[in-house]
Amino acid sequence: MLERLRAWARTLLREVFALWFACRDPRTPRAAKLLAMLIVAYALSPIDLIPDFIPLLGYLDELILLPAAIYLVLKLMPAHVLEEARRHAAERLAQQRPMPRSYVAAAVIVVLWLLLLWTLWRWLIVPAATYLPL
């Protein structure tokens, strides 16, 4: 069972790299390229949108959302572009070069969390403070 999960994780990583290469290919349709860029940026981001320490929800993005999004974008890619991108991805993984990181996606996730916290503060804390007697 553990070996099966490792094989699935390797396949998922190869598909992320394939999408990374497909994004750079001019033959990729714009809609597929845009979705692929978003998914690759999120997959390579060092920060998750849903932190892993949150019970059950923490691994939801890695186990369900990310593979489903990758599957969708793979269906939108032209077969010849995807085949070439998978070959490049396999070569890169065989070289065991360090994984790229998407710090822009990490910054976007941090900004989203800050906006969420600010919104909660404005809705919950600020209205309560207006009713406090001085």
CA distances from 53 to 20, 32, 50, 65, 98 (A): 28, 32, 9, 17, 25
In angstroms, the CA 117 to CA 126 distance is 13
Range of the domain at 88: 2-104
Q: 128 in a domain, yes or no?
A: no
User: Does residue 88 belong to any structural domain of this protein?
Assistant: yes
53 occurs within a structural domain: yes
Domain count, the chain: 1
In a domain, 57, yes or no: yes
Whether 68 is covered by a domain: the verdict is: yes
Least confident of 6-10, 70-74, 116-120: 6-10
pLDDT digits (tens, 9 = 90+) for 7-49: 887 888 888 889 989 988 999 999 999 999 888 888 877 777 7
Confidence at 130, pLDDT banded by 50, 70, 90:
low
Structural domain contains residue 117: no
**110 inside domain:** no
Report if residue 129 sits inside a domain: no
Q: At what angle do helices 30-43 and 2-23 cross, to 10 degrees?
A: 130
